[in-house]
Amino acid sequence: MLKIYGTTQVYGIIGNPVSHSLSPAMHNAAFDACRLDKAYVAFPALDVAGAVAAIRNLGIAGVSVTIPHKQAVIPLLDSVDPVAARIGAVNTIVRRGQKLHGANTDWLGANQALAEALKLAGSTVLILGAGGSARAIGFGLREAGAKIILASRTAEKGRELARQLDCSWIPLKQAECQKADALINATSVGMSPNVDATPMPAAALVAFPVVMDIVYAPLQTRLLREAAAAGCHRIDGLAMLLYQGAAQFAIWTGREAPLEIMRRSLLAQLVGSK
């Protein structure tokens, strides 16, 4: 059971909104399992500059960064990891002495989840979406040596991200005509409460041996259910969330994350929220 003392190091998540976040349960379970005098809380933050100032002034040891602050936080930090700088987004801050360092573990989480089903180097991956998640996933796959095809609804945004990723772009409607080793839904399509929505027709899924959905509420989206019927290997949104969280834990503590305990805590939260 989590206990708070005068010596307890505080971690948290900054963003707006954050009340729905599963990260507090995941990280507190990990801290508790490793018997670390640390606690993780949610910080609703409308003002990113004020939030970073609070991190500095209150001695907060580290935070996760979520929407809408992943890009805006960068110029407020003392240093940023090179990959995070290329992605243009930070989802993790760690205190190093009196300095705040930014990193991005979203791409690590996506790569690790996908690598369980696919050799990334030399593979072709179709990414749906051109937002922050697609951006992190795309840069991560580039780091791993994968070929990327980007499909999005908005042409201007999609073409710009494709230029930065040095990959091809197609309109979202043309995605159903593609073939690739893996398909990743990096949009919010299918997320609760719009659980009957899907970004890809069921008939098109046979062209993708692996289908990954970053949506984790619900855990089994319509896309993943139809991918199962098509015989695809499925990767749910919990995998990316878990692995990016495990990478954060390692950055903050210098220890290997207790993956199974973190996984169970996430599942318990999802079941409990129904």
What lies within 8 Å, CB to CB, of 198 at 6+ separation is 189, 190, 221, 222, 223, 226
Order of strands across the sheet that contains 168-171: 168-171, 147-152, 124-128, 182-185, 210-213, 233-235
- 8 Å CB contact between 210 and 118: yes
- Using DSSP's 3-state secondary structure scheme, residue 13 falls into strand
Report the C-alpha gap between 204 and 8 in whole angstroms: 51
**Residues of 152-166 as b/e, b for ≥16 C-beta within 10 angstroms?**
beeeeebeebbeebe
Residues 79, 99 contacting (CB under 8 angstroms) = yes
**Which of 27, 106, 121, 35 minimizes the C-alpha distance to 65?**
106
Annotation says 179 is catalytic: no
Strand order in 38-44's β-sheet? Answer: 38-44, 9-15, 62-65, 92-96, 99-103, 79-80
63 forms beta bridges with: 12, 93
In the three-class reduction of DSSP (H, G, I as helix; E, B as strand; rest coil), residue 80 is classed as: strand
Active-site hit among 3, 38, 70, 173: 70
Instruction: Give the active site residues.
Output: 70
